[in-house]
Structure formats: C-alpha cells, structure tokens
Structure 1
Amino acid sequence: MKTAQSEQGALKRILGLRSLFAIAVGVVVAQVVFISILQGVGLGGSDFFVALLVAFVLTLCYVFTFSELALMLPKAGSISAYTEVAVGHMPAIVATIAGYLAPAIFGLPAELFLLEAVLDSLFPGSFTQIGWLIILVLMFLNILGVDFFAKVQNLFAYLMIVSLLVIGIAGLSQSEPQGGSVMSILEGLKDLDIGVLSLTMLALWSFFGLEFVCPMIEETKNPSRNIPRSMILAAVVLLVVYALVALAGYLTVPQTALSESEIPHAVLVTALFGESGKMILAVLAVTATCSTINTVLATIPRMLYGMGRNQQLPTLFTRLHPKTNTPWLAIVFVASLIMIPTILLGGQDDIILTLVISAATIWLVAYVISHINLIVLRKRYPDYKRPFKSPWYPFPQILGIIGMVYMILNNSPSPEMTLQVYMNAGLMVLIATIYAAIWVKFKMKKDWFEPEPIEKALKS
C-alpha cells in the first residue's frame, strides 16, 4: 500500500527557531494560565513565587526528556512513536489519545468559555457565539499550510508576550500599590514550609505543553538545534514573564481580590489601566485563546498523522491535502472534537475549573510515560545515536516522575471535585485503552506490550 508521502508528497521543512518558539509558548500561555498564576498569588502570596520555581524545574525535566526522545525518534507521532519503541503499541495509543487528544477535548472548551466570559464582561451580549467561530476559522487557516500557520502563530504568540510584559512592567511601576510589597515577599519567604507544594500544581499548569514542538519535527529546519533550544528558551522566557505578571498582581491588587475572582486577569488589568484597559484585556484574551487553539490544531493532528503511518489509527489520518501538504482530515477531526463540547456545554461557566483540572491530570500521566520511555530506551539502546542527551540523567526523569505523580494525587481544591476529575480522567483512559487493546490485537495483530524495533519504527 502506498503511503501518504508517496501519494501526495511529504510534510514541508520550513519551521525555524522563531516559529518553534511561538509554537512552544502558544499552547502554554492561555487564559487558564493567567487565572492559575494570579489565583496562585492570591492564595499563596510570597510562597507562590517559590512554587513557580519548583514548576520551572519540573518543566526542565520534561523538556530534557522530550528533546532526547524527539531527536532519537524524529517522527510526527511524537509520544506515540517514543512509546511504541519503549513499551509497545497499546501504551503508545493510550498515551496519545488519553494524554493529548482528551486534554484538548476538556481544556479547549474551557478556554473558549473563559474568552466568552471575559468578552461578555467587557462588551455584554456582543460575542456569544465566538467560540465555535474561532475553531472554524483556525481550522481552515491550518489546512492552508504550515507556512501560513507559522505566520499566524508568530503574530499571536509575540503579541501575547508583549501584552504580558506591558502588564508586568506597568504593575512594577505603580506609584501607589494596593496590594503587598516587595519587602513582604521577602518576609514571607522566611516562613516557607512544605505547604508550598500545594501551590505547585497552579504554577505547573502554566508550563504545560512546551513539547508541542515535537510533533512538528518533520517540518522543522535543523531539528537537532532548534527543537531543544525552542523549548528551553520558551521555558526561561515564560518564567520571567510569569514572575513579572505574578509580581504585578501581588503589588497591585489585594490577595483576596485575586483569589476570589473567576477572571483575576481582568481585575489586574482594570486596576492598572482603568476603563482604558478594556482593549488591552480583550487583545490579551483573544490572542491567548487563539494562540492555544491554533497550536493544538497544528500539533495534535500531526500526532494522529504519525499514528496513522504507524498503523495505530485508520489510514484516513495519513491523508495530506494535495496542494498544501497538511493532514487536513486529522485537522478537521480534532476541530470537530473540540467544537462539539463547546457547543453542547456553552454557558456552563461553573464547569470550567473541573474541565481544566481533568485535562491537566491526564496530561500529567503522559509526562510520566515520557520519562519512563526515556529510562527504558537508555537501557535498551545504550549506544544508539542521540543528537541531544538529557543532562544529569536519570535525575531529571526520576524527579519528573515523582513530581508529576504528586501533582496527580493533589490536583484539586475539594474532595467533590477530585472525584469528578478522576472520573473524567478515568473515563478517557478507559475509552483509549479499550480502543487500543482491540486495535492492536485484532487489526495490527501484535501483542499489547511488544516493543517495536527502533530501526523498523524509523522506517514507517
């Protein structure tokens, strides 16, 4: 049978460091992140800045892991390609469907609901149907080509970073701050205790998704250089930007106002700029949401495309557009899965937090699997060529596993929400496992946990 490449051409290598950086920050800097940061400051005060550093360290752990895996197995399937070689096809399918597709189904409708809530607070009744319109527009833009996607993503990502820097710098230059002081932060650090770990989940959510550059590796120029650098650079830049925004919130707004607000970024922008801040907030909200959705609609379809080539999904997902060489059917499929809950659950703002935490919990499982993959492959292929090797192996991987498992077990503010989160996450994992078990056994005719030889995986 002919492959998608032989029939319709191949994915085009046009993405450089600037575009990969925009992709890395694009899925990370969402509105739910602004909420996590500012509510974290409201709840933890000075402790949250320590939690931000802990989250940054855990982020570097998974960045090192994904950088090594991606360049060892440079496939669009990303985690499915790594996992099939490490522990077999069934875990590979579960890791991708449950670890990435399911969080998109949970997390992106929540992001769109937040956008609608912010715009409704600024311009009541004017943007009630904007969610599904954004999905449709970005779906068509992604089908037009990866070069077109990159231009749009660069615009969103860099505009968003500039907006955050403006907010952060404005907060630091306040002549009459209404919140805490820098001295109170230093005083608070003297009483630091183990409770800071309870804030780390809020901080860690702010760094999820840097590895979304990895599914784009077959469209990347000089991947050995640009894949690791884009993720590491994004992590450092985001730490600085988040710290500025958190500090602006701490200095400008009383902690209770941040912790009790459902949209604390609106509270901060209003406190800084007054009524004139409406346009800044609208630009920030729109660019953050569009950047996240645009990145997801580019990267997850590439994962599905890679899985189709590896026979882990129907070959329909390997179809490339005859003119633009984009996996158009996979893009439409992912957009549809996001659009359905966005339409069905529209207006139910009370479920946003539950959806976000459910998405984060499943995502954490995928990070645990990635660390396990690296440890297994280091033992199975100790002499295999690795353009990037994780520094200080295996300590980042062990620390990453421990940290992510801790976050899974301490991921929500109430027992009732914890139960609902585990039910949501468990349902997605169960569906993915049932599909994977049946597909691998009867369609692929392989054992569930039979690792694919790396040489064969690279040829697929």
Structure 2
Amino acid sequence: MSGRSEKSLTRQKLDRTLKPHWVWAIALGSSIGWASFVMPANWMGQAGPLGVILGLTIGALLMIVIAISYGVLIRSYPVSGGEFAYAFLGLNRTHAYISGWFLTLGYICIVALNATAFSLMLKFIFPDFIEQAKLYEVAGWEVYLTEIIFTTLLIGIFAFLNIRGSTISGRMQFIFVSILILGVLTITIGMSSSGDTSFANLTPVFTPDTSALAAVLTMVAIAPFAYVGFDNVPQAAEEFKFSSKKALSLIVLAILFAAAIYSMMIIATGVAMPWQELADANHSWGTGVVVQEVMGVGGLIVLATALSMGIFTGLNGFLISASRVLFAMARGKVLPDIFARLHKQHNTPYYAILFAALISIIAPWFGRDVLSWIVNMSSVGVSIAYFYTTYTAFKLLKWNEQDKDYNPELHIVSPWRKVVTIIGMISSIAFLALLLYPSSPAALGQESFYALVIWVVLGAIFYIGRRRELSKYSRDELAYLILGDDQYKLANKGNDSDNNH
C-alpha cells in the first residue's frame, strides 16, 4: 500500500455527448464494416450459403448471450475501457492489462483493415488509377504507393474528426449507417427480383467437401470477428448522454440488424450464379462482380456506396474504441500517462487517437495479407475479453439475497442472468477452443498463430517494463482511477491479493 488517498489522484473525465441512436450506430456500423460486402463469396466457399447464414445467426445469438453480461456491467460501471475495466473489477491489474493489450491490437488492426478495404474497392473500380507506383510484394501481396496514400488520407481524416469530439463522430456514424442500410436493402431487393437471378443458385446449401455441422461451426467460430463491433458500446459508456440502462437493448438491436445484413448480402450474392462457380473463380470482390453483371453500373455504384459506408463506420467506430482503451489503460497507470491527456478545447484523448491512427497507417506497408493474419489472431483476444466480461458479471450477480457475499450496494440479485453469464463463459471458451485447437475446422492458420505468439511475448515484455511504475499504486487507488468515484467499492472488496502484486 502506498498510503496515497484516491481523492488526491487526478482522474480525467470525458464529456457526455453521445445520444442513444448514435451509440446504436457505433455498435452496428462497427459490426458490419467491410466484411459483409467483400466476404460473401469466400464464406460461401467455406460453408455454403445456408452454412454461412446459420453459422452467423447462431453466432449472433451467442453474442447476445454474452451481451447480457455487458449490459449488467455497463449499467453499474459506465466507464471507458470496457473489458479492461471489467477484468480489473473481477480479477486484478494483471488480467486487466492482458485484456486491454489484446483489445488494443485488435481494434487498431481493424481500423487499418477497414481503411485498406477502401483501397481494395477503388482498385476494383479504378484498377489503372490505383495500381501505380508498385513498391514491393509481401507474402505475395503487391503494395502500391497510391493505395498507401489513399489509406493514409482516410485514416488521417477520421483521426482529425475524432479529435474534434465524439459529437461529430456519433452524428457521422448514424448518417453512415442509415445510408448503409438503405444500400443493402436496394441491392438485396434488386438482385433477388431480377429475371437474371435464381434462388436455385443457392444450392447445394452446404459445401459438399465438409459435413453440415463442420460448415456451420466454421462460421460460428468467426462470430467474434463478425460481430466484434458491438463491444465498442462499453468503450463509449463514459460518454453516454442517457441512462446506461439502455445499453443492452441498443447492443441487442445492433447485433440483430448485423445478422440480418450479413444474411441479405449472402442471398444477394448467391442468387446471381451458382455459388460454387463464384467461389472457385476467386475474384478479388465476388459480390461486386455479380452485382455489376446483374444490376449494371448503377447497382455497382449503390454497392460501392454501401461498402464505403461500412468501411467508414468500422474505421470510425474502432478508432473511437482503440483510443478509449488506450485512454483507460493510461488513466489506470498501465500505459504511459500521455495517452490519458485530453485536448484542451475538445476534451478528447487526442494522443491516444493519434497513436492509434499512426499505427494503423504503418500497417498497410506490410500488405493486406499480413494484416489479415493479425486480424484473424485478434479473434483470440476478443474471445478472451468476452470471457473476462462474462466472468465479472457472474461475480457481480447473485442467486439470492442469502448469498454469503451479498451486499445490496454492490451486487444484483438475478438468477436467470447469472445462468446466462455461465453460458457466456462457456461460449467464450468454446470460441477459443475452435480457434486454437489444431484439428478444429476454424483453427488459426500458421501465420496467425505465430503472430499471436509474438504479440503475447511483446505484451509480457512491456508489462514487465511497466510493473515497477504500476506497483506504486494500491488496488483502491487503481480502482478509483479505472472505475471512478463511488464505483470502485466492489473492486476494493473483491480481490485483496492484488495489493500484494
């Protein structure tokens, strides 16, 4: 114990500016991103049309189960940092660091992946313009100076807008999501009702190479990646301009909308031609090819607009989240204090935003394939964060008022939600097993596994370097900095061993 009073510490606070429909748009737009428009042909090649739809729908239901734990924690602890704060609350500073370390990498890489997806779209539409000034190849991927410039400009614009304040970011997100939904509906109706398409092209509904169960499990395993954006809501919880009790309904609604959009894009892509032929053709953008063939240039413009909105919402949403995790970790003394500094005029964590943007700008120089390896690996980190959240919610919830640890100021009595948190923990472990077990149909590729090992080693080295500084603060001081004011009571009571480091 350092003896320092928590009230003598300086705890930075963010402005409450986000409206409910903006937060819903952050969750939905981040969950959709670029994948629903770019990946349908690839996913059908792995699982077949019905395999993709069933797998992602089951994944959505599992995400809702996990989201119930988020709802419990956001309601009681509406602070930036999300899973970082929850891991500290339920366990200790070391677990909080692990959760934050994986989240930061995952969020920043998805920012970069969304930005490079925009360059991919431009390369499909204007190949002669984008494919100029070839620099080199990485893992078979050709890196062009032109696309790096576009990627850098795009990330720079969103970083600037984020520094200007969450009001601008939230309003933009809602506008982008509205245009995205309108575009998806237009494409789905246009493709399904065309005389040149047929629902018969969706057969066989599963890929013939694997069993139906394996096909579905393959898609269930990518649910943490497909729906990762819903956990951007707790990152923004400190900035809610409304009751945190609404968070769960906003998350559930976003997940349901995301599942519907994924399904519609699978159908819109698959009805155009036999899906096996489309998957075997290995187009850089299979959905773009079939939409242009069936709906012409007008259809391609609508699709490109919807894709752009998906990219912008993913880029904006994850830039918000990456910067808030960095901000929360610095406020909690896990990272250097510079990441917790707030802009004098806009009160935003501008150093954290700039850092996330700079790392995102570096990534495209390594080629999209290398970036994809890292993003695939980050699904492991997201699943770990899900486990921490469900575990902490399990500790917070009680079966009844007769539980020996029950304290009405700290705990919530809700047997059914406690059961749901157990299912959430099991689901999180199942996701990890599907990703890490070598014989799993959804096991990480060799490159992604190596990237995971490297990131774990780097995290351990960095934590050892920060441990001396972190050890200056007692648990109750860190609880005040991470959770704020009166919200640190449970953390103080929950794990006294943390004081011994």
- Match of 1:143? 163
Q: Is 2:308 the partner of 1:286? A: yes
Q: CA deviation at 1:93?
A: 1.3
1:409/1:261 CA distance change after superposition, 3 Å = farther
Question: Which 10-residue stretch deviates more, 438-447 or 13-22?
Answer: 438-447
Please, which of 90, 100, 120 is the counterpart of residue 94 of structure 2? 90
Please, which of 308, 316, 323 is the counterpart of residue 330 of structure 2? 308
1:302/1:123 CA distance change after superposition, 3 Å = same
- Match of 2:4? none
Please, which of 74, 85, 90 is the counterpart of residue 81 of structure 1? 85
- Match of 2:484? 458
TM-score by length of 1: 0.87
Question: Which 10-residue stretch deviates more, 192-201 or 323-332?
Answer: 192-201
- Match of 2:361? 339
1:239/1:181 CA distance change after superposition, 3 Å = same
How far, CA to CA, are the matches of 1:378 and 1:416 in structure 2? Answer: 33
Please, which of 266, 281, 287 is the counterpart of residue 246 of structure 1? 266
Q: CA deviation at 1:243?
A: 1.6
Question: Which 10-residue stretch deviates more, 119-128 or 423-432?
Answer: 119-128
Q: Is 2:369 the partner of 1:362? A: no
Native 8 Å contact 1:47 1:196 kept in 2: yes
1:12/1:445 CA distance change after superposition, 3 Å = closer
Native 8 Å contact 2:292 2:299 kept in 1: yes
1:249/1:412 CA distance change after superposition, 3 Å = farther
Native 8 Å contact 2:84 2:329 kept in 1: yes
Native 8 Å contact 1:103 1:362 kept in 2: yes
1:328/1:381 CA distance change after superposition, 3 Å = farther
Question: Which 10-residue stretch deviates more, 327-336 or 265-274?
Answer: 265-274
| 1:430-441 superposed matches below 5 A | 430-441=457-468
Once the two structures are superposed, residues 139-180 of structure 1 have per-residue CA deviations (whole angstroms, 9 ceiling, x without a partner) of 111111111111211122221122122222223223332563
Please, which of 402, 423, 426 is the counterpart of residue 429 of structure 2? 402
How far, CA to CA, are the matches of 1:203 and 1:95 in structure 2? Answer: 18
Q: CA deviation at 1:293?
A: 1.2
How far, CA to CA, are the matches of 1:37 and 1:442 in structure 2? Answer: 47
Q: CA deviation at 1:107?
A: 3.1
1:271/1:302 CA distance change after superposition, 3 Å = same
Question: Which 10-residue stretch deviates more, 166-175 or 388-397?
Answer: 388-397
How far, CA to CA, are the matches of 1:387 and 1:289 in structure 2? Answer: 41
- Match of 1:371? 390
How far, CA to CA, are the matches of 1:412 and 1:165 in structure 2? Answer: 39
Question: Which 10-residue stretch deviates more, 11-20 or 38-47?
Answer: 38-47
Native 8 Å contact 1:180 1:250 kept in 2: no
Give the aligned residue type for 1:80.
F
How far, CA to CA, are the matches of 2:437 and 2:179 in structure 1? Answer: 34
- Match of 2:247? 227
SS across alignment from 1:252: coil
How far, CA to CA, are the matches of 2:397 and 2:189 in structure 1? Answer: 44
How far, CA to CA, are the matches of 2:368 and 2:382 in structure 1? Answer: 22
Give the aligned residue type for 2:238.
E
Q: Is 2:47 the partner of 1:44? A: yes
Native 8 Å contact 2:222 2:379 kept in 1: no
How far, CA to CA, are the matches of 1:167 and 1:324 in structure 2? Answer: 39
How far, CA to CA, are the matches of 1:245 and 1:412 in structure 2? Answer: 30
Give the aligned residue type for 1:458.
G
Q: Which runs of 5+ in 1 are unaligned?
A: none
SS across alignment from 1:393: helix
SS across alignment from 2:79: coil
Q: What is the aligned-residue RMSD (CA, Å)?
A: 3.2
Q: CA deviation at 1:452?
A: 8.1
1:203/1:170 CA distance change after superposition, 3 Å = farther
Native 8 Å contact 2:164 2:348 kept in 1: yes
Once the two structures are superposed, residues 423-460 of structure 1 have per-residue CA deviations (whole angstroms, 9 ceiling, x without a partner) of 1112112222332243234433469xx79896784337
1:182/1:423 CA distance change after superposition, 3 Å = closer
How far, CA to CA, are the matches of 1:199 and 1:157 in structure 2? Answer: 24
Native 8 Å contact 1:51 1:196 kept in 2: yes
How far, CA to CA, are the matches of 2:224 and 2:330 in structure 1? Answer: 31
How far, CA to CA, are the matches of 1:21 and 1:101 in structure 2? Answer: 21
Q: CA deviation at 1:12?
A: 1.9
Give the aligned residue type for 1:327.
P
Q: CA deviation at 1:267?
A: 2.5
- Match of 1:55? 59
Q: Is 2:275 the partner of 1:255? A: yes
Please, which of 112, 118, 121 is the counterpart of residue 121 of structure 2? 118
SS across alignment from 1:175: coil
Q: Is 2:243 the partner of 1:236? A: no
How far, CA to CA, are the matches of 2:300 and 2:202 in structure 1? Answer: 28
Q: Is 2:451 the partner of 1:424? A: yes
Please, which of 23, 28, 33 is the counterpart of residue 30 of structure 1? 33
Give the aligned residue type for 1:313.
L
Give the aligned residue type for 2:283.
S
1:266/1:454 CA distance change after superposition, 3 Å = same
1:148/1:245 CA distance change after superposition, 3 Å = same
Question: Which 10-residue stretch deviates more, 216-225 or 266-275?
Answer: 266-275
- Match of 1:103? 106
Native 8 Å contact 2:28 2:230 kept in 1: yes
Question: Which 10-residue stretch deviates more, 362-371 or 33-42?
Answer: 33-42
Native 8 Å contact 2:109 2:371 kept in 1: no
1:382/1:245 CA distance change after superposition, 3 Å = farther
How far, CA to CA, are the matches of 2:189 and 2:80 in structure 1? Answer: 39
How far, CA to CA, are the matches of 2:438 and 2:270 in structure 1? Answer: 23
| 1:197-236 superposed matches below 5 A | 197-202=217-222, 204-236=224-256
How far, CA to CA, are the matches of 1:327 and 1:411 in structure 2? Answer: 40
TM-score by length of 2: 0.80
Give the aligned residue type for 1:424.
A
How far, CA to CA, are the matches of 1:428 and 1:454 in structure 2? Answer: 27
- Match of 1:444? 471
Q: Which runs of 5+ in 2 are unaligned?
A: 1-7, 131-145, 399-403, 489-501
